[in-house]
Amino acid sequence: MAETAAPLQRAAVATQPARRRWSIPWSRVILGLFSALVLLYLVAPVAIVIPMSFSAAKYLSFPPPGLSLQWYQNFFARADWTSATIQSIRVAFTVMILATVLGVAASLALVRGSFPGKDIVNLIIVSPLVVPAIIVAIAIYGIYVRLYLVQTFWGLVLAHTVLAVPYVVVNVSATLRGFDIRLEQAAQSLGANAWQTFRYVTLPMISPGIFAGAVFAFIASFDELIVALFIAGARGRTLPMRMFEGLRMEIDPTIAAVSSMLITFSVLVLASAEFARRRSRGD
């Protein structure tokens, strides 16, 4: 419907503002300028960090007076930074695998199955996305104290999995709904069992959703600060915790180097997610 209307719309757009074309469309110019400023506000602070991380000065200034890699050297030379980074990668990677397996299974059940209480289960699964992190943090802290899970690797992994699973379920459910169930039925009528149908028909079809969900899950854990603050402890300190400390005490310029690496990482992630999405849509 939308596709058939598009050429018609375009033709109409071309003829529509005829009476306004002779004067400069001031409202349009102002709107464009305003939008450009808002986009600048969004991107400039993120972009400015990268040149500053290569600054040769001892304080942060822009533009930097000279170039050096001192803050990167500082990052890689200091064990408190590298161990926090390694810890974050370990936790986020484990969370990604756990959340993806759990989330894909749950999505299959929620989209394909029909059993009593499905709506409530759906609601429970997405609610970690809206309940403020501070509430989740102190609630989990409250029971971890009793279970002796505070300051343990698996304690943090499980808590982060709670926060990451919804992203997987939302993304995978969306692709599952968009895909033709008759393909599964055809496979089954040709003699495939449930596992074969999943492995050779469903899984390849929903892989873009799984990929997107897994990426979200990784980021959800990798960037998470508040829950980690309460339950990770000094020994299991994650990168966000180390950054938070660095920002609370003095503004440590090493964070510029860390931030630049994280920004590069998120741009790469964004690009790969976009690539996966395009490939899945075949354009």
Residues 51-90 binding other proteins (CB under 8 A) are: 52, 59-62
Which residue stretch of 10-18, 77-85, 89-97, 200-208 sits at the interface with other proteins (rule: CB under 8 A)?
10-18
Among residues 81, 167, 211, 218, the one that binds other proteins under rule CB under 8 A:
167
Among residues 11, 29, 86, 124, the one that binds other proteins under rule CB under 8 A:
124
Q: Does 113 bind other proteins (CB under 8 A)?
A: yes
Binding to other proteins in span 190-229, by CB under 8 A: 194, 212, 219, 222-223, 225-226, 229
Minimum distance from residue 18 beta carbon to other proteins (Å): 10
Whether 185 and 194 have beta carbons less than 8 Å apart is answered as: no
Q: Does 153 bind other proteins (CB under 8 A)?
A: no
Q: Does 170 bind other proteins (CB under 8 A)?
A: yes
Minimum distance from residue 97 beta carbon to other proteins (Å): 13
Minimum distance from residue 55 beta carbon to other proteins (Å): 11
Which residue stretch of 37-45, 68-76, 77-85, 89-97 sits at the interface with other proteins (rule: CB under 8 A)?
37-45
Whether 153 and 90 have beta carbons less than 8 Å apart is answered as: yes
Q: Does 127 bind other proteins (CB under 8 A)?
A: yes
Minimum distance from residue 73 beta carbon to other proteins (Å): 19
Among residues 38, 57, 77, 86, the one that binds other proteins under rule CB under 8 A:
38
List, in order, residues 6 or more apart from 171 with CB less than 8 Å away.
209, 210, 212, 213, 216
